[in-house]
Structure 1
Amino acid sequence: MELLLEVLILALLTLPVLSDFQGDALSSLKVSLNASADQLKDWKANLVNPCTWSNVICDPTTNLVTSVTLASMNFSGTLSPQIGVLKTLTTLSLQGNGITGGIPSEFGNLSSLTKLELQNNRLSGEIPSSLGNLKKLQFLTLNQNNLSGAIPESLTGITSLIDLQLTSNNLVGQIPERLFEIPKYNFTGNNLICGPTERHQCASDVSESGSPKKHKVGTIVGVVIGLIILLVGALLLSLYKLRQRGHRPEVFVDVAGEVDRKIAFGQLKRFSWRELQIATDNFSEKNVLGQGGFGKVYKGVLTDSTKVAVKRLTDCTSPGGDAAFQREVEMISVAVHKNLLRLIGFCTTPTERLLVYPFMENLSVAYRLREVSAGESILDWPKRKKIALGTARGLEYLHEHCNPKIIHRDVKAANVMLDEDFEAVVGDFGLAKLVDVRQTNVTTQVRGTMGHIAPEYLSTGKSSERTDVFGYGVMLLELVTGQRAVDFSRLEEEDDVLLLDHVKKLEREKKLDGIVDRNLNKDYDMQEVEMMIRVALLCTQASPEERPAMSEVVRMLEGEGLAERWEEWQHDEVTRRQEYERLRRRFDWGEDSAFIQEAVELSGGR
């Protein structure tokens, strides 16, 4: 009996230890990235199920990891080859860190991967030929690294690839011919041969990711954008003359949206025109909740007493007709997050396009800041902090958790709704693709609200996540000050029509207490106000490469990483300011310049 017991104990001791291979793989990644004690704190080795960890998404039915997003977290280590065991992983985003070393060949084992984002790191060595095994890969982004050698021929075998970004590396040799068949690619900033003849260009589209030398280019771009700011300033000065009846309208401009691959998802209610006509009392003016560049929004009540908001799109002839409109609407409906406005349904006729949303009891942030009636409560400071964080989380979801990602293009207080608990709910996202801007008489090719538009978007018409970050930064300043992004009344006292310029000036003069919304009656924490303003100024840097990703904004609002970024910003801002003042002395346009008058054609106020 004793002998049998000893044999059983020995057998148990020699059995392999069961562990969660996913948790082990991600723990290995955390170690290899040199994560600090404050980073990925919930990634605990003794808690091997990673589905509850931050920045990790799992399939709810299988508990298998499908997404790992660790963008812009200041990691400085290397990539762990053990990640190759995550066969269900569809998204791996590690961009915007300082990761060194090579791309492990084991990444070629990630058979379900559709998106691999490793840009803006310090990766070196060759691109592994094993990446050619990723037959489901759609987005491969390796730009702004130190990768060398030739582009592997094996990449031509990935027939699903729709976006290949290799710009600003040290790659050499001939570009494989079949890679030019990818819908979007960029090979610029290397020592590559684009093709045997002149028929190939090195880029099918301008890369949104920026340039190889972040700080140097950031300064250069900032200088160039200084000229654009001068143009905008002169434009705003000319618009000042148009003010009538004490009215200060927001100024809007429109542009054609970029084309992404259309993906149809979900089920939406298709309303009849008659249903919505009855619900809104024949679209009565007394039911208008607001008006924007996309059209008017009406309050409505359905037959089951459900309150709704009906957006009647202005440019009703959508590109591609009814079917394309429905596909885009269905794609928007897939973006489900507590800080995003949920789409209930839609309606299309030969002459109408309408969208139906839940009615938000507390309307918009802009309304609560500037349009409340007597007796209505204003937004106290705790609510404003909650709104700032909720909006950031909603945008982070659009940018980093939607496939394809969704760029808002008009982030501002008027497009952030408030539910009955004053939870921030971002609305109007994805709408740029639902209207046909060719039907308008606008020539500027930019969609957005003046004062919220990022400088590089204004000059090129090219939007990215970082243009949304800029608009979000201006929205934070709206939350702190209660003011509009553009205020002509300041012309009577100073030159700073733009709220951003006004706040920057007060920040330099250490007079921020004078900018806080008087409706708060000094009932706020000045340290928290300064923190929010600092996040806003980091988000509104002239160079898009210098702005944080929304995931980093969320962390800064939660108290992580702001001090370091702010110290770096202050150092760079001195250089930028000096260069801007030098340019301003060189280029001094008058307010009646014919060039300025013709430079931008504006649409009417929303």
Structure 2
Amino acid sequence: MDRAPGLMSLKMEMLFAALILAYLQSFVLSNPQGDALIALKLSMNVPNNQLTDWNQNLVNPCTWTNVICDKSSNVFSVTLSDINCSGTLSPMIGALRTLTTLTLKGNGITGGIPKEFGNLSSLISLDLGNNRLSGEIPSSLGDLKKLQFLTLSQNNLIGAIPESLASLQNLTNILLDSNNLSGQVPNHLFQIPKYNFTGNHLNCGGLNLHLCESYSGDSGGSHKSKIGIIVGVVGGFVILFLFGGLLFFVCKGRRKGYKREIFVDVAGEVDRRITFGQLKRFAWRELQLATDNFSEENILGQGGFGKVYKGVLADNTKVAVKRLTDFESPGGDAAFQREVEMISVAVHRNLLRLIGFCTTTTERLLVYPFMQNLSVAYRLRERKPEEPVLDWTTRKRVALGAARGLEYLHEHCNPKIIHRDVKAANVLLDEDFEAVVGDFGLAKLMDVRKTNVTTQVRGTMGHIAPEYLSTGKSSGRTDVFGYGIMLLELVTGQRAIDFSRLEEEDDVLLLDHVKKLEREKRLDAIVDRNLNKNYNIQEVEMMIKVALLCTQASPEDRPAMSEVVRMLEGEGLAERWEEWQHVEVTRREEYSRLQRRFDLGEDSLYDQDAIELSGGR
């Protein structure tokens, strides 16, 4: 009976290990998408100093530079602009059936466009501009029924524009300028809002060159342009008159002491009234202009439900615009409403403030302040050579600030909030390098009356608590686990999962790696080398201890975030650490004893454990 708790603990560890192993195997096994991207890299002759993490032995591409995946680990965006390639395009690219954005502009790519590009059935944006592509435009591009943006400018393409392109009903932007194309432009292409066929030998339906180009959304006629200008001027006067009248009544109402809400809906937006404190409701066009039409070059990152773009408003205010991509799918629109509601009530110096939002019949967007120093993950692992290293004093301040932000979410918000994806990439840094916890797209309201169960585990592998991964049950202690891993990122500068460690040891998980070094009392080997020994070893030891207490296997054993804050401030850590050490020693001794029994050939016990682990849980 004495060894029952030890056996149960061992079983839980083996279960967790099996789950992690299954996850890791998904990285190592062959992946058609990874194979296709490796083939593209090789055919394009990518320079040795580019895409160094594209490893053909580890073909899960979701961790690679310039590759973005969706929630199901399907590649949907590849951006390889201006990386000095000199090769050709691989036909294997056609295997990326989930790809929505492919940008290869500004390279020296030669050869033709493979007909297999027509197999990219999900493609929305294709940019091959400013290369040295030759040959004809393949008619198979007409099979890309979802395509909206096609850029083949500044290449050496020849022949006629395929008639098949005229069947692309969703196309809103086609740029074929500065090639050697010839023949008649299909008439339907003149109905596209934005087109450019100049710099070719094409017949655009007349002798005037301006018929080959349109940036106004008209079909090229100057008559329509003049009418548009007149209408715009008249409309401007009307809007100015109405705005003046509205301002008069608002001021008059204020003088009378009235407290009234004024709602001004922008044409095209959802006709409903949403008010959350001081949030601003942005017009779609305002955010479209701010982000340069949501240019791929302005992407800051990707959250659970969409991409985040850098933007500059008309008053030169820098913002980050989160554009939700799947709000029409189950949970998408609800996620928008939930995020707006939660962020509007969660006000704390260490939480990302929401400036405003935008809703239209087809779009949902959130607007945040732009964080000048980006994320902790960027500063630890992606900074440019000329940018300073995140020093130890700043790392300590970040650890405490993030802890205080999470403490507020868990213990002071009403209703309380679980973040569910705490990691260095979601801790942002303002202009003073103060920590700001962001990305509440994965957050979930904490209902204290019942267990929190989700039908879909969300988060980032390596940061997900074991009980959440195996059961789908989340709690505030789920965030505590993720916070502990984030502390280890701060100390080591490393990722939560790093396959490069396979060359020297078996610990691809950062948590296991740090535990091993801590047991061996090799604290200096844990610390980020970029710090160049400019740190306090006692403070490093304290932070590691807090991290290991936060990442205990059992959620009940982890401290609450309020206790984490106190420990970081120097209160109560010694007692908790001594208690944990006793439990860890006992657990390791029990594990070693059982392992020796297995090694001596007690197969019956081993088989019984195997049977119990494979049974219902």
The TM tier, using the shorter chain, reads: 0.5 to 0.7
2:407 corresponds, among 386, 396, 401, to: 396
Shift of 1:235: 2.6
Counterparts of 2:25 and 2:563 in 1: how far apart (Å)?
Answer: 35
Work out whether residues 253 and 446 of structure 1, in 8 Å CA contact, stay in contact via their aligned partners in 2.
no
Alignment of 1:143-292 (within 5 A): 220=8, 223-241=11-29, 246-247=53-54, 249-250=62-63, 266-292=277-303
Residues 192-225 of structure 1: CA distance to partner in whole angstroms, max 9, x if unpaired?
xxxxxxxxxxxxxxxxxxxxxxxx9899467414
| SS at 2:292 equivalent | coil
Structure-1 residue corresponding to 2:432: 421
Counterparts of 1:580 and 1:454 in 2: how far apart (Å)?
Answer: 22
Report the CA distance shift for 1:481/1:327 in structure 2 as closer, same or farther (over 3 A): closer
Structure-2 residue corresponding to 1:306: 317
Q: Which amino acid aligns with 1:429?
A: F
Alignment of 1:78-157 (within 5 A): none
Residues 393-419 of structure 1: CA distance to partner in whole angstroms, max 9, x if unpaired?
000000000011010000000000000
Counterparts of 2:5 and 2:356 in 1: how far apart (Å)?
Answer: 45
Does 1:353 find its partner at 2:141?
no
Does 1:460 find its partner at 2:267?
no
Structure-2 residue corresponding to 1:384: 395
Residues 78-126 of structure 1: CA distance to partner in whole angstroms, max 9, x if unpaired?
xxxxxxxxxxxxxxxxxxxxxxxxxxxxxxxxxxxxxxxxxxxxxxxxx
Does 1:549 find its partner at 2:560?
yes
Report the CA distance shift for 1:323/1:492 in structure 2 as closer, same or farther (over 3 A): closer
Work out whether residues 420 and 444 of structure 2, in 8 Å CA contact, stay in contact via their aligned partners in 1.
no
Q: Which amino acid aligns with 1:360?
A: M
Shift of 1:293: 3.1
Counterparts of 1:354 and 1:453 in 2: how far apart (Å)?
Answer: 27
Q: Which amino acid aligns with 1:228?
A: F
Structure-1 residue corresponding to 2:199: none
Q: Which amino acid aligns with 2:359?
A: T
Work out whether residues 347 and 354 of structure 1, in 8 Å CA contact, stay in contact via their aligned partners in 2.
yes
Structure-2 residue corresponding to 1:519: 530
Shift of 1:229: 2.2
Which blocks of at least 5 consecutive residues in structure 1 are unaligned? 1-215, 256-262, 435-442, 590-594, 597-606
Structure-2 residue corresponding to 1:448: 459
Alignment of 1:45-64 (within 5 A): none
CA RMSD of aligned residues (A): 3.2
| SS at 1:448 equivalent | coil
Higher normalized contact order (CA 8 Å, seq sep 6+, divided by chain length): 1
Q: Which amino acid aligns with 1:468?
A: D
Q: Which amino acid aligns with 2:292?
A: D
Bigger Rg, structure 1 or 2? 2
Counterparts of 2:21 and 2:606 in 1: how far apart (Å)?
Answer: 11
Counterparts of 1:305 and 1:314 in 2: how far apart (Å)?
Answer: 26
Counterparts of 1:292 and 1:429 in 2: how far apart (Å)?
Answer: 9
Report the CA distance shift for 1:363/1:319 in structure 2 as closer, same or farther (over 3 A): same
Q: How many residues align?
A: 361
After TM superposition, the score normalised by the length of structure 2 is 0.54
| SS at 1:406 equivalent | strand
Work out whether residues 452 and 474 of structure 1, in 8 Å CA contact, stay in contact via their aligned partners in 2.
yes
Does 1:316 find its partner at 2:123?
no
Shift of 1:472: 0.2
Does 1:370 find its partner at 2:158?
no
Q: Identity of counterpart residues, as a percentage?
A: 78
After TM superposition, the score normalised by the length of structure 1 is 0.55
Shift of 1:333: 1.2
Structure-1 residue corresponding to 2:495: 484
Report the CA distance shift for 1:550/1:320 in structure 2 as closer, same or farther (over 3 A): closer
Counterparts of 2:399 and 2:305 in 1: how far apart (Å)?
Answer: 24
Work out whether residues 362 and 420 of structure 1, in 8 Å CA contact, stay in contact via their aligned partners in 2.
yes
Q: Which amino acid aligns with 1:397?
A: Y
